[in-house]
Chains A and B, each alone.
Chain A
Amino acid sequence: MELGDLYTEIVTQYSCSQRHRHPLEHPDVTMRGVNPSCGDDISLALEVEGGIIKKAAISGSGCAISEASAAIMADMIEGKSTEEADRLAELFLGMIRKTVTDENELEELEDALALQNISNMPARVKCAVLAWHTLQGALKKLETSPQGTVG
């Protein structure tokens, strides 16, 4: 695969995006995600109200692929219900694992489609999925916490 298929305009733009790089004052859940081998280390914080993700914020640092993936994800899940966010995460992971290949179905992933080529780069798959695994972890934590609030 060519580098141009990986480091696309969309990916480099999102990887430098600061939109979700601000601390949340009262996050309902925070979750850390780490790729020990390459050193990607991000934290995702969510503010959730009535089952709707109001705000998503990213901190930490990682490679361009993991940062772009996190920024795209944060953009996408704001305003969506937690169930919807979880479903999108499954869809994204399905795209990378190539278990979902139907283009109409994948259309929903919008800008995240820019990361589809990563499925052909085993060495970078972990970078692309880190944020989405972290999201799923955060949602699970939210669900199992007694009052729905965990720090």
Chain B
Amino acid sequence: MNEYLYDFPLLRQADDKGRRIAYLDNAATTQKPQAVLDAVAAYYKTSNANPHRGAYDLSVEATKSLESAREKIRAFIGAKKAEDVVFTKSATESLNLVAQSYGMSSLAPGDRIAVAISEHHSNLVPWQIAARARQADITYLYTDEAGRIPSAELKSKISGRTKLVAVAHASNVTGVINSIEAVIERARTVGAVVVVDGTQSVPHMEVDVSALDADFYVFSAHKMLGPMGVGVLYGKEHLLQEMPPFLYGGDMIEYVEEQESTFAPLPQKFEGGTQNVGGAVGLAAAIDYLDRAGMRKIQALERELTAYLLDRLHSVPHLRIIGPDGIEDRIGVVSFVLKDAHPHDVATILNADRIAVRSGRHCAQPFLHHLGVQSTCRASVYLYNTKEDIDRLAESLKGVRRWLVHGIG
């Protein structure tokens, strides 16, 4: 029995046939431990008010809740100052903020944006929009067959005209951990700013944005045991200072006169509108949970699960892994296809055995096109998964083709 499983009410539940769910779609969102559910409920029960707005104690308390969550995030990712941590509603919003605010104010016609072909649409489409508006060009960093970006690609594609590089720390399709250190080192030689999509890395490994020297680093709470509706943007202070605001309105201003306004200092400048304090409190509780377990230990545990997953998948006839089939430099996200079986059907058939995997294009159409597949199935693990979950997946997969391929039933 996995020592964490017991903390997750949804995962403990048995259905009418006595089966637990084998939840293997953690790259999409993770389940929430009781501690997170309790923290959110406690905030609404005892501390809820609009932060920053009231003179009364309760509002001060809500403000404190928000700010202590910010401080917790700062420490978790190794940022220098809490002011460099901006709350958003998702990683997607964080990336749009950077593209709209930093991109639109700093890109000039003829500039280049280097984007990895493996990016999630959230770190790709915002750059297409900014590039079009500023008459800049997108250059893609292509991966090899396993989904890794060769270092020669960094050298040849990140050049003098490159002003910005957008790369994920870990891929939500192949699980590949990109060498962000190498990307940043190369970007420094040409003076480009680096935007790192850490949505799949922060939940699964130790990340230190200061040691990495990332310019921007984003992630979502809901993929790391926290609630939906909270995202984080980390940015270097001098960059955030120079950027124009993103959303205009309440909470982000200093003085508003009839014709003009001045804006609040960091981080409020980027936090227009009432923030999701309950969500931030939930994220803080999730970070406490992860810290208690220990990120090193989580990474080791997931490595073991991933090795087991790869091994069991290799034993399924007609199955092909998309991405690296080894354990090095990857997280526990594994895409695969089964011969003559469309991923969507595979997921439906696994669902009948109460196994949850993702099927489709994983919001990464250009990448799937590059890899030469139309869609894939994807299994992704987290600290609460068990070898039994993986055994169930492998066994169920062996029966899939019987449903679909005419004449082998």
Contacts and interface: CB of A to CB of B under 8 A. Distances in A.
Given A37-B360, A63-B344, A16 B406 contact: yes
B406 A3 contact: no
A63 B405 CA distance: 12
B352 A64 contact: no
A7 B344 contact: no
A125 to B, nearest CB: 12
A7 B403 contact: yes
A64 B360 contact: no
B31 interface: no
Interface string B374-409: 110000000000000000000000000001111000
Nearest to A41: B374
B361 A36 contact: yes
Nearest to B399: A3
Given A3-B349, A40-B344, A41-B374, A64 B361 contact: no
A37 B361 contact: yes
Given A37-B361, A38-B359, A124 B406 contact: no
Contacts of A13: 406
Interface in B200-248: none
Contacts of B406: 12-13, 15-16
Interface string A22-57: 000000000000001111110000000000000000
Contacts of B345: 7, 63-65
A123 B348 contact: yes
A38 B406 CA distance: 22
Interface string B341-367: 111110011011000000111000100
A31 B332 CA distance: 39
Contacts of B365: 36
A124 to B, nearest CB: 6
A127 interface: yes
Given A39-B343, A39-B360, A6 B348 contact: yes
Contacts of B348: 3, 6, 121, 123-124
A67 B342 CA distance: 10
B403 A3 contact: yes
Interface residues of B, number: 20
A61 interface: yes
A61 B352 contact: no
B63 to A, nearest CB: 39
A39 B403 contact: no
Interface in A92-145: 121, 123-124, 127
A13 B407 CA distance: 9
A67 B406 CA distance: 14
B342 A62 contact: yes
A7 B375 contact: no
A3 B74 CA distance: 48
A7 to B, nearest CB: 4
B360 A38 contact: yes
Nearest to B375: A39
Residue of A2, A3, A15, A127 with most partner-chain B CB within 10 A: A3
A126 B351 CA distance: 17
Given A3-B349, A3-B352, A61-B374, A39 B404 contact: no
A35 B303 CA distance: 34
A39 B349 contact: no
Contacts of A36: 361, 365
Given A3-B349, A3-B403, A16-B406, A64 B374 contact: no
21 contacts: A3-B348, A3-B352, A7-B403, A12-B403, A12-B404, A12-B405, A13-B406, A16-B405, A36-B361, A36-B365, A38-B343, A38-B359, A38-B361, A39-B360, A39-B375, A62-B344, A63-B342, A64-B341, A123-B351, A124-B348, A127-B344
Interface of A: 2-3, 6-7, 12-13, 15-16, 36-41, 61-65, 67, 121, 123-124, 127
Interface of B: 341-345, 348-349, 351-352, 359-361, 365, 368, 374-375, 403-406
Given A6-B348, A12-B405, A41-B374, 16 more contacts: A2-B352, A3-B348, A7-B349, A7-B403, A13-B406, A15-B404, A15-B406, A16-B406, A37-B361, A38-B343, A38-B359, A38-B375, A39-B343, A39-B374, A65-B344, A123-B351
Q: Which 6 pairs between the two chains have the least Cβ-Cβ distance? A: A39-B375, A63-B342, A63-B344, A38-B344, A7-B403, A38-B360
